[in-house]
Amino acid sequence: MQAKPQQPTQFVTSLAAIGAAVLLARWPQMNRAEVRALMAHLAGEVCRRFAGRRIYVAAGHAQQRAARDVAIRKAFAEPGPDGAAARSPARTRQVAAQYGLTARHVRSILASKNPAPNGRSPASANH
C-alpha cells in the first residue's frame, strides 16, 4: 500500500498565501492566477527541501523590540506633551508610561544606544 502524499503544512500554506498577498498588494497589475501558482510552487519547494526536518520559526520579537527601542529613543529626545524637557527624568517616566514599561527599563534601553542590527544587545551581538 502506497502512503498518501503529505499536504503542505499550515505554515507553508500560510507562507504561500502571505507571499501572494504581499506581491499582489505591491504590484496589483500582476496576474492573480500566476502569482498564486508561483507561490504554490514555492510552497512545494519548501516542503521538498525541509521534508522530515524540524525547523524553528522565530516569533519576530527581536525586530519588534528593536523598532520599539528606536521609537523610545526618539520620544525621549523630544519634549513631553505637558512640557517636560527632552532627556529629563520626567520625560523618562512619561515615555515609560507611554510604552507600558518601567522608568528603569527605559533607562536601560537608553543606555544601550548602539543595538546590533539584528535586535540583540551590543554585548551579545558577537556571540
Within 10 A of 38 (CB to CB), how many other CB atoms are there? 16
CB 112 within 8 A of CB 122: yes
Instruction: Transcribe 8-31 into DSSP letters.
Output: PPHHHHHHHHHHHHHHHHH-TTS-
**Residue 125 half-sphere exposure, CB side, CA atoms within 13 Å?**
11
pLDDT at residue 114 above 90?
no
Q: What is the pLDDT of residue 2?
A: 55
Q: Domain boundaries in the chain?
A: 10-50, 61-120
For the segment 113-125, the average pLDDT, to the nearest whole number, is 50
Q: Is 88 in a helix, a strand, or coil?
A: coil
Ranked by mean pLDDT, the top range of 13-22, 56-65, 94-103, 109-118 is 94-103
Distance CA 30, CA 37 (A): 12
The pLDDT value given to residue 3: 52
Which has the closest alpha carbon to 77: 62, 63, 94?
Answer: 94
Residue 23 CB contacts under 8 Å (≥ 6 apart), including other chains: 30, 35, 39
Give the integer Cα–Cα distance in Å for 113 and 115: 6
Per-residue confidence (pLDDT) for residue 59, from 0 to 100 = 84
Q: Which residues contact 9 (CB under 8 A, 6 or more apart)?
A: 47
